């Protein structure tokens, strides 16, 4: 029998494809996205189906890619711009934070554009191909941010992002792209996953790990170990949307378990974990039975050598020991 389960990258492809079929204003723009089909082959075959007018190969000009997407979006198009690696979003930073983010607020028009690309570390790609960029944009009002961890969510969220009335940064952890472990069968019918809603990836009673992206898998693995070895029931909350944060789901899991670990892959200082823990401290302080623990990468660039990168990144052992500490508290 044919395996009907799809990979993470295939799910994003499907979502994009269906939206381009559904809505003629959707188009793709980026480096090597057309003939080559993208550095990760996410848009392979798109140019054959939709033509070079809607699948546009560009010069190496990220600022212009973002700017052009903004201009087209103002005129009623729905651009999906690709960064070959999210690391190169830095070259489009000005356009994103000054133009895309502020246009609606300034009365100059909405920008319904999606800016997507592969993010994340753990693939031995060194300091310039491993970025998690969310904290750079968390403090920019006017940009939504999404980072799914399952094929179902990836497809549902890319569709929601394309239909969204405002600019959305769509982060795809490259480690998940072809990971067999997370393959899923997807619904036949059209669906979206709403932006701004977290998901409980595992139900639990004793403590909560709040996380997103590829770290969801580490959290689930840690939860499994803690259940087997310590009899602890760990809840895993997958945020899915990073801006605006789903405060209600965050507070709900805190009220349920009273102990929280916040886990992300970006460096700890100035990371999104600080924002989440501030929300919890301000709005659910009396529900806490233990201090909040944040786990992230150490405050260094992402190093290349495996020994260094493994030290840099959060590990399952660390998550397990943090949870044990909380449980004992």
Partner 1 sequence: MKVKVNLKKPVKPLSCTKETSLKTSDLIRLYYFLKLTRMFDEITVRLKRQGKITGGVFSSLGQEATAVGTAYALEPQDFIAPLIRDIGACFVKGILPREIFASYLGRATSPNRGTDLQFHFARLEKGFIGPISHLGDMVSVMAGVLLASRMKKENRVAVAYVGEGATSTGAFHEGINFAAVQKLPLITVIENNGYAYSTPTYKQCAAKSFVDKAIGYGILGLQVDGNDVVACYEVMKKAVEYARRESQSVLIEAITYRRKGHAEHDNQAYVPAGEIEWWAENNDPIKRFELFLVEEKVASKEELKKIESEVAEYLEQELEIAESAPPPEPITAAYEVFDNSVVPPAIKKKFLS
**17 interacts with, out of partner 1, ligand TPP, none, CB within 5 to 8 A per kind:** none
Using the rule CB under 8 A, is 283 a contact of partner 1?
no
Count residues near partner 1 (CB under 8 A): 43
From CA 167, how far away is CA 102, in angstroms rounded? 10
From CA 217, how far away is CA 124, in angstroms rounded? 18
The one among 108, 229, 305, 329 contacting partner 1 by CB under 8 A: 305
- Each residue 261-280 as x (binds ligand TPP by CB under 6 A) or -, in order, gives --------------------
Which of 178, 167, 170 has its CA nearest to residue 153?
A: 170
Binders of partner 1 among residues 19 to 38 (CB under 8 A) are 31-32, 35-36
**305 interacts with, out of ligand TPP, partner 1, none, CB within 5 to 8 A per kind:** partner 1
- Which residue's C-beta sits nearest to ligand TPP? 88
What minimum distance in Å lies between the beta carbon of 197 and partner 1?
Answer: 30
- Kindly report the three-state secondary structure assignment for every residue of the chain: CCCCEECHHHHHHHHHHHHHHHCCCEEEEECCCCCCCCCCCCCCCHHHHHCCCCEEECCCCHHHHHHHHHHHHHCCCEEEEECCCHHHHHHHHHHHHHHHCCCCCCCCCCCCCEEEEEECCCCCCCCCCCCCCHHHHHCCCCCEEECCCCHHHHHHHHHHHHHCCCCEEEEEECCCCCCHHHCEECCCCCCCCCCCCCEEEECCCCEEEEECCCHHHHHHHHHHHHHHHHCCCEEEEECCEEECCCHHHHHHHHHHHCCEEEEEEEECCCCHHHHHHHHHHHHCHHHCCCCCEEEEECCCCCCCCHHHHHHHCCCHHHHHHHHHHHHHC
Using the rule CB under 8 A, is 60 a contact of partner 1?
yes
- Each residue 43-62 as x (binds ligand TPP by CB under 6 A) or -, in order, gives -----------------x-x
- Each residue 177-196 as x (binds partner 1 by CB under 8 A) or -, in order, gives --------------------
**290 interacts with, out of partner 1, ligand TPP, none, CB within 5 to 8 A per kind:** none
Using the rule CB under 8 A, is 127 a contact of partner 1?
yes
The one among 128, 203, 205, 329 contacting partner 1 by CB under 8 A: 128
**Residue among 60 and 108 whose Cβ is closer to partner 1:** 60
**Residue among 60 and 108 whose Cβ is closer to ligand TPP:** 60
Using the rule CB under 6 A, is 103 a contact of ligand TPP?
no
End-to-end Cα distance, the chain:
51
Using the rule CB under 6 A, is 88 a contact of ligand TPP?
yes
From CA 53, how far away is CA 56, in angstroms rounded? 6
- Catalytic residue list contains 129: yes
**281 interacts with, out of ligand TPP, partner 1, none, CB within 5 to 8 A per kind:** none
Q: Which of 129, 173, 264, 312 is catalytic?
A: 129
Give the residues lining the site for partner 1 (CB under 8 A).
31-32, 35-36, 39, 57-63, 84, 87-88, 90-91, 124-129, 293, 298-301, 303-312, 318, 321-322, 324-325
Residues that bind ligand TPP (CB under 6 A): 31, 60, 62, 84, 88, 91
């Amino acid at each position: 029998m044919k395996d009907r389960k799809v990979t993470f990258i295939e799910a994003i492809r499907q979502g994009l494809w269906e939206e381009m079929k559904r809505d003629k204003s959707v188009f793709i723009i980026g480096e090597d996205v057309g003939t080559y089909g993208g550095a990760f082959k996410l848009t392979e075959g798109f140019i054959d189906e939709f033509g070079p007018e809607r699948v546009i190969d560009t010069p190496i000009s990220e600022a212009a890619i973002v700017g052009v997407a903004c201009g087209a979006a103002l005129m009623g198009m729905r651009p999906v711009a690709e960064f070959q690696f999210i690391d190169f979003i830095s070259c489009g930073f000005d356009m994103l934070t000054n133009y895309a983010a502020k246009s609606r607020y300034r009365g100059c028009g909405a920008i319904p554009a999606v800016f997507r690309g592969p993010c994340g570390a753990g693939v031995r790609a060194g300091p310039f191909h491993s970025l998690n960029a969310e904290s750079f944009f968390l403090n920019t009002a006017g940009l939504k941010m999404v980072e799914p961890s399952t094929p179902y969510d990836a497809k549902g969220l890319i569709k929601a992002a394309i239909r969204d009335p405002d600019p959305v940064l769509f982060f795809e952890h490259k480690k998940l792209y072809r990971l067999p472990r997370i393959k899923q069968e997807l619904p036949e019918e059209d669906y979206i996953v709403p932006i701004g809603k977290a998901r409980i990836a595992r139900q639990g009673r004793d403590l909560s790990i709040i996380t997103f992206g590829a770290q969801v898998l580490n959290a689930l693995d840690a939860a499994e170990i803690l259940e087997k070895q310590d009899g602890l029931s760990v809840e895993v909350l997958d945020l899915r949307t990073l801006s605006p944060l789903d405060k209600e789901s965050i507070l709900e899991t805190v009220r349920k378990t009273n102990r929280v670990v916040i886990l992300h892959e970006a460096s700890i200082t100035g990371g999104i974990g600080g924002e989440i823990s501030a929300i919890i401290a301000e709005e659910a302080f009396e529900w806490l039975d233990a201090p909040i623990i944040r786990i992230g990468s150490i405050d260094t660039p992402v190093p290349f050598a495996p020994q260094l990168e493994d030290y840099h990144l959060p590990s399952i052992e660390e998550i397990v020991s943090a949870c044990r500490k909380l449980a004992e508290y």
